[in-house]
Amino acid sequence: MNSRFDFLKINEQLDERRAENVFRSCACIEERHGTEIRIDGRDYINFCSNDYLGLSSDPDLMKAWKEGIDIWGCGSGASPLVTGLTRAHRELQDEIKDWLGVEEVILFNSGFAANQAVVKALNGRNTVIYADRLAHASLQEASVLSGARYVRFLHNDPVSLQGKLAPRTGMIITEGVFSMDGDEAPLAEIRKLAEGSGNIFFLDDAHGFGVHGAEGKGTVSRQGLRHRDIDVVMGTFGKALGTSGAFVAGSREFIDYMINFSREYIYSTHMAPNVAHATRKAVRIVRERDELREELRAKVDYFRSRIAQLSLTVSQSTTSIQPIIIGSSEKALQWSGKLKSFGCYVSAIRHPTVPKNTARLRVTVTANHSYEQIDKLTEGLSSCQQLQ
């Protein structure tokens, strides 16, 4: 049957994906209770969520979310420069400023939007972007759209970066914790190169915020640096903080520039005020409850000790993100299917999200997994090995 989209060859592209075992579709979560989810009437333990501290179902945070609706209603109703920025947003900004010791903060509806905003506002045909080759899709996409020359350096390799840098030409981009590998960037070395070359350092710490460092301040703090030492830092709320949205922190002049020139900020309805209200509570919980991070660390250590007994290819990651590299997409799907039969849900991450032949099970261990649940996963993984 002819499709309206024939001339764009969308079916050919979808068929190609099916043939290469990289076709994607969304599972619908019918019910969710902490780490337990129901899909198509079957119950699973969720081992692929970024809710690292389990805050999305924290009773205090849920209460704050509802309280925010009682105070503010639902949507913000306007972009921030019109009437979309409420006291709830301002209080969240102030809380983050106090937490991280930074000059100014702005809020976005997602980390994806925040990354687009920063990269596109500061770059154009006359700048160069130096990005880690494993930088997140939102950063890669924004770099291409910005029109800047896009230069990739070897993953976590300051020597490779140094070899490519030219003075005062643009922006260096990396991540605190890499989303698909769980490893950390060497921030002090990269910062030194940024300073020495007069280039801007932009850090995406989506997966480090809340989880790492004193008071959960993130990878910057874990590595003994201060947020003020880095020109621009982005953090998300949809992962460890359990809500949704993101912030960008930097100097007053930089944030003023974003407010005046970032199209993603100016031309988009602002974050709902109840989300801002609840996220302020989430920041407080993260700051105060060290025991959540301790719990997480203990669970990650336990998982690593359990899988050390299986001869699997695992990364050196000590974070929640514990990828198990499988290789082919077909095999990754097989393993993911087998784990489902054990009641464990771990999606297979395949090309183009990760390089070809590095398909993986991106296991995430969270603070609210039980040790029994982790045992179940390792049992499942052991059984997957029989598939070889």
Under rule CB under 6 A, residue 335 binds ligand PLP:
no
Distance CA 387, CA 333 (A): 12
Tokens 């972009």 correspond to what residue? 79
33 is catalytic: no
Only one of the segments 66-74, 105-113, 147-155, 161-169 lies at the binding site for ligand PLP (rule: CB under 6 A); that segment is 105-113
Burial 169-183 (b: 16+ CB within 10 A, else e): bbbbbbbbbbbbbbb
Only one of the segments 109-117, 313-321, 337-345, 372-380 lies at the binding site for ligand PLP (rule: CB under 6 A); that segment is 109-117
Helix (H, G, I), strand (E, B) or coil at 354: coil
Using CB under 6 A, pick the residue from 68, 111, 213, 216 that binds ligand PLP: 111
Under rule CB under 6 A, residue 162 binds ligand PLP:
no
136 is catalytic: yes
Residue nearest to ligand PLP (CB): 111
Q: Please choose, from the candidates 228, 176, 180, 173, the residue with its C-alpha nearest in 3D space to the C-alpha of residue 202.
A: 173
Phi, psi at 23, each rounded to 5°: -70, 140
Under rule CB under 6 A, residue 175 binds ligand PLP:
yes
Only one of the segments 93-101, 111-119, 154-162, 284-292 lies at the binding site for ligand PLP (rule: CB under 6 A); that segment is 111-119
Distance CA 41, CA 216 (A): 36
Residues 183-242 close enough to bind ligand PLP by CB under 6 A: 204, 206, 236, 238
Please identify, using beta-carbon distances, which residue of 278 and 384 lies nearer to ligand PLP: 278
Distance CA 75, CA 272 (A): 5
Helix (H, G, I), strand (E, B) or coil at 334: helix
Distance CA 263, CA 257 (A): 11
Under rule CB under 6 A, residue 110 binds ligand PLP:
yes
217 is catalytic: no
155 is catalytic: no
Strand partners, 152: 131
Under rule CB under 6 A, residue 246 binds ligand PLP:
yes
376 is catalytic: no
Residue 386 backbone zone (phi > 0: left; psi -120 to 50: alpha; other: beta): alpha
What is the arrangement of strands in the sheet containing 348-349, beginning at the earlier edge strand? 321-327, 359-364, 348-349
212 is catalytic: no
Please identify, using beta-carbon distances, which residue of 48 and 384 lies nearer to ligand PLP: 48
Q: Please choose, from the candidates 259, 239, 286, 279, the residue with its C-alpha nearest in 3D space to the C-alpha of residue 88.
A: 279
Strand partners, 173: 131, 202
Using CB under 6 A, pick the residue from 138, 174, 219, 373 that binds ligand PLP: 138
Please identify, using beta-carbon distances, which residue of 109 and 378 lies nearer to ligand PLP: 109
Q: At what angle do helices 371-385 and 329-341 cross, to 10 degrees?
A: 130
Under rule CB under 6 A, residue 179 binds ligand PLP:
yes
Using CB under 6 A, pick the residue from 93, 115, 143, 146 that binds ligand PLP: 115
281 is catalytic: no
Residues 17-36 close enough to bind ligand PLP by CB under 6 A: none
Shortest separation between residue 256's beta carbon and ligand PLP, angstroms: 24
Tokens 């030194």 correspond to what residue? 192
Catalytic residue set: 50, 136, 175, 179, 204, 207, 239
List interacting residues with ligand PLP (CB under 6 A). 110-112, 115, 136, 138, 175, 179, 204, 206, 236, 238, 246
